[in-house]
Amino acid sequence: MIRRLGFTTALALALLAAPTGSAGQVHSMTANPFDVETIDGIIQALYASISGPAGPRDWHRFHSLFLRGAILMNAGPRSDSMPPPPFLSPEGYRERVAPYFLENAFYEVEATRRVERFGTIAHVWSTYLSRRAPGEEPFSRGINSIQLVWHQGRWWVGSIIWDSERPATPLPAAYLPDSGGGR
């Protein structure tokens, strides 16, 4: 029940952040069909578009995955004196992380995945591992809550909300690799 309430809340927030009118709902960027014709394809493209050695990322590919009005949010803990976490657009996310990626290698991969789908919507619960080089021990891991929408013959990302593991909040065993809880 808690997981469903979280998904419902995230979907409602994504819809509130989206512009109104059917013409404003999708980007005009053309996506690689292999990136968006399946849930597996869009999740792989999402991780691939932000991962790599120090240097620029394929931001065109990244942006082509998102609905116009999509939101991204790091939901990690904040002190009570801080404002709530901000919603970022895909462009706002790029602006925030591109300088870091230019100077630093960053490889994020999916460790496990759970998908719940109904009609034209899907919720992907994706455990991630973040590394500075392929094969290294992760310096961070957590869960991406990704909401997808099937529209115009392809999948679109509507929102991504993530939280990183920390000592007080370890990843549940069901979301760890080799637990039987993933893909």
Q: Are 124 and 113 in contact, with CB atoms under 8 Å apart?
A: yes
Q: Are 145 and 128 in contact, with CB atoms under 8 Å apart?
A: no
Nearest to 155 by CA among 23, 19, 37: 37
Q: Are 97 and 141 in contact, with CB atoms under 8 Å apart?
A: no
Q: Is the pLDDT of residue 154 over 50?
A: yes
Q: Which residue has the higher pLDDT, 17 or 163?
A: 163
Q: pLDDT averaged over the chain? A: 85
Q: Is the pLDDT of residue 55 over 60?
A: yes
Residue-level pLDDT at 28: 54
Half-sphere exposure of 140 toward its Cβ, with a 13 Å CA cutoff? 12
For residue 152, name the pLDDT band (cuts at 50, 70, 90).
very high
Residue-level pLDDT at 109: 96
Q: Is the pLDDT of residue 58 over 90?
A: yes
DSSP state of 114: E
Helical H runs in 57-139? 59-64, 90-103
Q: Which residue has the higher pLDDT, 180 or 90?
A: 90
Tokens of 5: 């309430």
Measured at the CA of 157, the angle between CA 16 and CA 144, to 5 degrees, comes to 95
Q: What's the predicted TM-score (pTM) here?
A: 0.81
Cα 61 from Cα 35, distance rounded (Å): 9
Q: Which residues contact 37 (CB under 8 A, 6 or more apart)?
A: 153, 154, 155
Beta bridge partners of 145: 125, 161
